[in-house]
Homo-oligomer: A and B are copies of this chain.
């Protein structure tokens, strides 16, 4: 039996635990080697990684004490969802070019090949059906794991099942051009709602109006007072707030909710890198207006295939080429550098 070829394997390794905003210096690129064959006697699968997903929640795992799942270890490759190709015997998850997967049962075969493969890191990631999920054991049951893999299904189930849109509802989406926001806005339009999004640049605002079909949008960085922007764009108030931002944005928007409004608490990116969370003062509105606030981190129902396959939903991805660019892409999420779902393309096939 011929010896297996050994090739270089670049990885993004955690250099130090993160406090505050993550920086590129918290990570480093390390070049290791990998045998292109699964070691003899090992039940495993060797994956060539094609796309890796880049998501805000990874910040939590870079801290010394992670709240969501197992923290990343210093000196080890970061881990997240992705799409890959089986080389030797299926589970691309390490932030590395190749990954040896010893729990192949956790790999999910991709069934639909009529859309870009990259969509399977996000909008089409119908976990547990189609997605390959993290190799490392989680502190919580598997269905507690979350991240990019939730972009599609969770945007769908969060908006539809928690938001319960009715035709004519007024919908506000924060961080609306992001991986999740762009999908939610389009689902809202399909449901017959009036939808307004906020984003952090004029380019993104333009994208919301022209590409994703939002009825209105504003650049929150140019609005000294969110309340004024909301009153201008949504003078009748808000029935559904799909929130990716949290903190002051959530607090101000609560006051603008209508009776029996629904807040889908999907993300709080404003709160991830700060030591002292923002003090929310408008919670009493929840009682005054009989508002439901529901946190989403669970894939409640895998909806295998939906509007995207019928071409009803447009997806914008922000893809950087090469694993060397991964740390900057991850850091860029927190300053809103990305336009749409952030991905790292590792290899062509």
Contacts and interface: CB of A to CB of B under 8 A. Distances in A.
A271 interface: yes
Interface size grouping (class) on chain A? 35 or more
Contacts of A283: 246, 250, 265, 268, 277, 280
Nearest to A260: B298
Interface in A132-163: 140, 144
A294 B265 CA distance: 13
Contact of A288 (B279, B288, B295): B295
A315 interface: no
A140 B293 CA distance: 22
Interface of A is mostly: loop
Q: Among the interface residues A267, A277, A291, A293, which one has the most CB atoms of the partner chain B within 10 A?
A: A293
A36 interface: no
Contacts of A287: 265-268, 295-297
Contacts of A276: 281
Given A290-B297, A293-B294, 9 more contacts: A250-B283, A267-B287, A271-B284, A277-B282, A287-B296, A290-B298, A292-B292, A292-B293, A292-B294
Interface of A: 67-68, 140, 144, 246, 250, 259-260, 265-268, 271, 276-298
22 contacts: A246-B283, A246-B284, A250-B283, A265-B286, A265-B287, A266-B287, A268-B283, A268-B287, A271-B284, A276-B281, A278-B279, A279-B279, A279-B281, A280-B283, A286-B293, A286-B294, A287-B296, A290-B294, A290-B295, A292-B292, A292-B294, A293-B293
